[in-house]
A and B are shown apart, each in its own frame.
Chain A
């Protein structure tokens, strides 16, 4: 029996082989055939005869396909992935979709915006940290000469300063070293009319300094710098300060009690120089005042920089100069090596007497990782929300596929959609960055200005960077939804009501867990850093830094000032010292004591105080006594010194410390350096003339003590400016890096959890929407709100629980590594993890609850009436 339908279908199928025919055209021809067959049957033919006649008259398909193909050929270009007509359509559909799902779009864009803003800020920070000292034209040939000192029983002692005689000897003896300069910080009092201003930021340098480093001159010349002992180079800042409205060049100015000639004015030193300064003084001046210093190989007091010839072999020179000090000073225990200039700022070695600006590679690494993590979290949000919502887009995909969209086109469509969103997020995040920059500057102690960034030379690379980030984010975040959506079978989407969101749910869960692991680790990190910081700040330093104010006075008259101050009611005690209590860098290996192993060289720090200092600083004596007013030739040692010197009963022992001196007491170990380092041995001398005056005052009398001191100061030193510092502030500065890290990581952790929760919030609300009917039925059948809440929350709570369990070991490991950098560290206690877990759980529960409570309270009728 002839089956007309089957034959027609078979005939139609032949068209499908040819790409010239689209669905519409095939349909058109099918209808043609059917009309023709009908007409022929009406004329009296049988079905089979009619069909055969009709297809014969229709002609063969292949030449027709060719004809159609040729006539449509220009259109075939439209079959490529990208074409303008479709782009317009993609754009339209994308915008309509965004508008239709405002909430999800908002969540998506907000998450990405926050993430990207953080990434940009961190990018600025990291970029700046990495840019240190790279502005010097000769940066690849410039090195700082640094020391490794070796002492028995102690770890290597790295020192950044070197002897005075080193630089000239290096240039003289090694032809590969083409230039060398010394750099020694030395601050002067500038006389401006009747005013005396103590200007920090002065460096004494050799003339080669100007050839080696790229600090451009605005005016003047440094040609005769070496010959002119009183030559002075000012930065623009100081030139403007002392010579407002006129040219500083050629003028002279009094520093201390001598006239100096301003031979040149230079640009202000860039913020990203490890060696900041405001004015430069001729090193020859120092040598002419201290003629013996020129040949000194003993004391390390200044930075030595060298420039190597371009052809020079770095390793060979390093080997040659290693023993340069030992060669000139037999008793030396110092090895030298070259440190490349661009590596100074982020160098790993913790040098003693490091340059004023020093960064931490660790922070750069940590922040970079955090940036990547936050970006990943925001991308995960994006992926999760998009795939979850894919059910809604499935129909569109089905339809597009039916009409002939290729998979590559669909992938392109969805990727371009996510790139569009990420572009939007980028635009918003740039605005956010502009808003946040001032606070960020404060937080990081940097100076970024939005307009400066826009106008800077690097704007093109910044713009390219931003575009790359946008593209990468869009592509990465959109990759999974694009692949997932484009793989949907059109039949499924068009036949059933909606495809199950179970598809991709597994991956979504993994991503949520991953997201929360990152957030929780960041929280653990934040709490630990905060703990450590508190620990450091409240750590027993061995003295009491609170309610101490200090000033620096001419050492010949500091005692007069001290006794003047003692008359004040706000003053509890006044002590003198020649060293800052947290910055004792002077040390010597020249001390000797009975029972000392003559083969061992032991480095011992030293400082000088008066008889009131220990009481003022509330230091504790373990043995013997403090200094008395009439004491001469006495010293006090600390516990560590007692231990390393091997003295069981040190009190009463006479040792050789710049002459014979009797040990009268042992003081409890106190931190005379950063708490990053362990306590080292120290000998404390009793001195007569010291410049630093430490005042212990009544609690809460900060304002009063400053005015009391100023009065006393003006009485003793009527022609000198008074300046003061609270000891506590020094500590705040000392630990400012940690403080910064603590604050930054707090912000990062908070942001990470907000972004994660934002994504979770979107995901939960979507799940609730999907389960609306289920909830309605359950309610109608009598489920209580409580049981519904439990049901709805359970799934997500499980994920968070898994994240918690995984994040704890990860967080523990990471923070344990970080704490290794501290000599004194807080223990990682269980409650940090408990608190993190609890906080994370509470926050996510809150996020989930809002939606699930809303869903479970909804009137079931509203959910069910649609069917």
Chain B
């Protein structure tokens, strides 16, 4: 199980990453995250929404309501150009952390 802090820190790149694949709405995004994590990240579904709204406010994503004849209305989120840039930046950061950690794992215990 991934810790709460780590989950919280990684939410932003995960959401942005999912949205880069294509626009989606809240429920589907959650589903996707659950699929990806294979249940290893503990998420309460509801916590997604404040994050989505914050990202929207930061203009990394934007949203629109889509009304369809034969299904429920859905609020679709799309990634913006700023969101893509942000995702790249996050990608770099996590990669750096990752490579540092890789080095760290390679260090032999002294003596």
Binding site for B on A (CB under 8 A): 20, 24-25, 27-29, 31-32, 34-36, 57-61, 63-64, 67-68, 71-72, 74-75
B43 to chain A, nearest CB (A): 8
Given known contacts A31-B72, A32-B27, A34-B72, is B46 in contact with A64 (CB within 8 Å)?
A: yes
Find residues 1-31 in chain B having any chain A CB closer than 8 Å to their own CB: 25-27, 30
Give the dominant DSSP class at B's interface: helix
Identify the closest chain B residue to A61 (Cβ).
Answer: B46
Residues from chain B with a CB closer than 8 A to the CB of A75 are 57
Would you list 21 pairs from A and B whose C-beta atoms are within 8 A, ordered by A residue? A24-B75, A25-B49, A29-B46, A31-B27, A31-B72, A32-B30, A32-B49, A35-B27, A35-B72, A36-B27, A57-B45, A60-B44, A61-B46, A63-B47, A64-B44, A64-B46, A67-B50, A71-B50, A71-B51, A71-B54, A72-B50
Cα–Cα, bound, A35→B46 (Å): 13
Q: How far is the CA of A75 from the CA of B50 in the complex (A)?
A: 13
- Asked if B53 is at the interface of the complex by the 8 Å CB criterion, the answer is yes
A60→B72 CA distance, assembly (Å): 24
Cross-interface CB contact of B47 among A27, A67, A74, cutoff 8 Å: A67
Q: Is the CB of A72 within 8 A of B75?
A: no
User: A65's closest neighbor in chain B, by CB?
Assistant: B50
Q: How far is the CA of A435 from the CA of B53 in the complex (A)?
A: 57
For A58, what are the chain B residues with a Cβ–Cβ distance below 8 Å?
44-46
Q: A29 to B53, alpha carbons, bound, how many Å?
A: 12
Q: Compute how far the CA of A455 lies from the CA of B55 in the bound complex, rounded to whole angstroms.
A: 55
Say which residue of B44, B54, B75 sits within 8 Å of A28 (CB atoms): B75
In the complex, per-residue mask of B69-100: 1 if CB is within 8 Å of any chain A CB, else 0: 00011110000000000000000000000000
| Residues of chain B lying within 8 A (CB to CB) of residue A28 | 26, 49, 75
Q: Whose C-beta in chain B lies nearest to the C-beta of A56? A: B44
Chain B, interface size: which category? 10 to 19
- Chain A residues with CB below 8 A from B44, complex form: 57-60, 64
12 new A-B contacts, CB < 8 A, other than A32-B30, A64-B46, are A25-B53, A28-B26, A31-B72, A35-B27, A36-B27, A36-B45, A60-B44, A61-B46, A64-B50, A71-B54, A72-B57, A75-B57
- Complex CA gap A34/B26 in Å reads 12
Shortest 4 CB-CB distances between A and B: which pairs?
Answer: A59-B44, A71-B54, A68-B50, A35-B27
Set of chain A residues within 8 Å of B26, measured between Cβ atoms: 28-29, 31-32
The complex places the Cα of A34 from the Cα of B72 at a distance, in Å, of 9
Known: A29-B49, A32-B27, A32-B45. A71 touches B57 (CB 8 A): yes
B49 pairs with A68, CB closer than 8 A = yes
Q: Which residues of B contact A74 (CB under 8 A)?
A: 57
Question: Whose C-beta in chain A lies nearest to the C-beta of B44?
Answer: A59
Residues on the A chain within 8 Å of B50, using CB: 20, 64, 67-68, 71-72
A residues in contact with B45, CB < 8 Å: 32, 36, 57-59
CA A79 – CA B68 in complex, angstroms?
A: 32
Give the distance to chain B from A710, nearest Cβ to Cβ, in Å. Answer: 92
Bound state CA distance, A61 and B53, in angstroms? 16
How far apart sit A31 and B74, CA to CA, in the bound complex (Å)? 7
CB distance from B9 to the nearest CB of A (A): 14
Distance in angstroms between the alpha carbons of A61 and B50 in the assembled complex: 11
Nearest CB on B from A672, distance (A): 89
Name the residue on A nearest B34 (C-beta): A57
